[in-house]
Amino acid sequence: FVSILVIACPCALGLATPTAIIVGVGKGAKNGILIKDAATLEHLYKVDSIIVDKTGTITVGKPSVVNIESEIKEDELISILSSLENKSEHPIAKAITSYASLKRLETMPVSNFEIIKGMGLKGVIDNKIYYAGNITLVKQNNLSFDVSKIEKYTKEGKTPIVLMTEKEVLGFVMVSDELKEGAKESIEKLHRMGIKVIMATGDDKRTADYIASLVGIDQVVAEVLPADKLSIVKKLQADKHIVAMVGDGVNDAPALAQSNVGIAMGTGTDVAIESAGITLLHGDIRKVVKAVSLSKITMTGIKQNLFWAFIYNIIGIPLASGLLYPIFGLLLNPIFAGLAMAMSSVSVVSNSLRI
């Protein structure tokens, strides 16, 4: 009876999951992967679809101005644009303000500034309303614009920012961003894990398609609003997919919160990081692959731990209860029962440390 009590002590069972989780979370932190809770790590193990943003996730997020076409003086166009973009935190805004600083152009005071979600922004300069944004914003304002002017640029992966008033388009600038180091290899590794990668971006479709073709993205959803990203996540979840969302901007926050696992770039906005369950330091996309691998290794470790925790009891309890006594005359001494119980805990902890 004493042998049964000793060997049935559920220490190993109690250690099986938390030891593996603690080691997994610690290992993640050493590799720049900050995991908020155990549930996030467990959900990531089951993920079969990952949605990624473009700017700051697949690309570096430090675009620069590469082309300008204007119906007014070029310096005037850049000056108005930089005055508007000066109030925005978007990486593209920084590209325009940096270009204006390089040319030593003045920024003008802006009143009634407003962010138009997923499309651009507006503000009043010298009692005149100006808009700066993407082609969707041009269409929404019902302005005539020859899209063919920007097609040759967007096919090269460049992003257009159009400046307009309520009556006409004044011109546009094209900005270009570099791919993040390791982006292509990361997507390939995710594919090998059986994970589908979808890029959802507010950028122009041709630009998005070009970037996606460079890195091997499975599906592209371009010219989307923040609410659309949220809808994409919900639709995948409705189709029984386990979804991870990778993003870095304010616009990504609702989708990050809705997804089964939200992954924020450490170089992104505070609201994105707060909405996510995992934060990748330095915004390195290669850490997405590491995070998924870590979750799989950790969950495998948990299953192995539970196996060892149960196998000792499955074998030990019948032995301690005298099952072999009528046949072989064997009983389990309480001392050996204690040793077996201790060994089960040691084996579980040791297996966790292997992670």
H-type alpha helices, the chain: 2-7, 11-30, 38-44, 74-85, 91-102, 135-140, 148-154, 183-192, 205-215, 226-238, 253-258, 270-275, 286-320, 325-328, 334-353
Query: Does the annotation count 48 as an active-site position?
Result: no
Strand partners, 5: none
Long-range contacts of 264-271 (CB under 8 A, 24+ apart): 265/56, 265/57, 266/32, 266/34, 267/56, 267/61, 268/56, 269/89
What single-letter amino acid sits at 282?
Answer: H
Active-site annotation holder among 53, 177, 248, 252: 53
Q: What is the dihedral of CA 131, 133, 138, 143, to 10 degrees?
A: 30
Is residue 179 within 8 Å of residue 59, measured between CB atoms?
A: yes
Question: Cα–Cα distance between 246 and 20 in angstroms, integer?
Answer: 25
The residues that are catalytic are 53
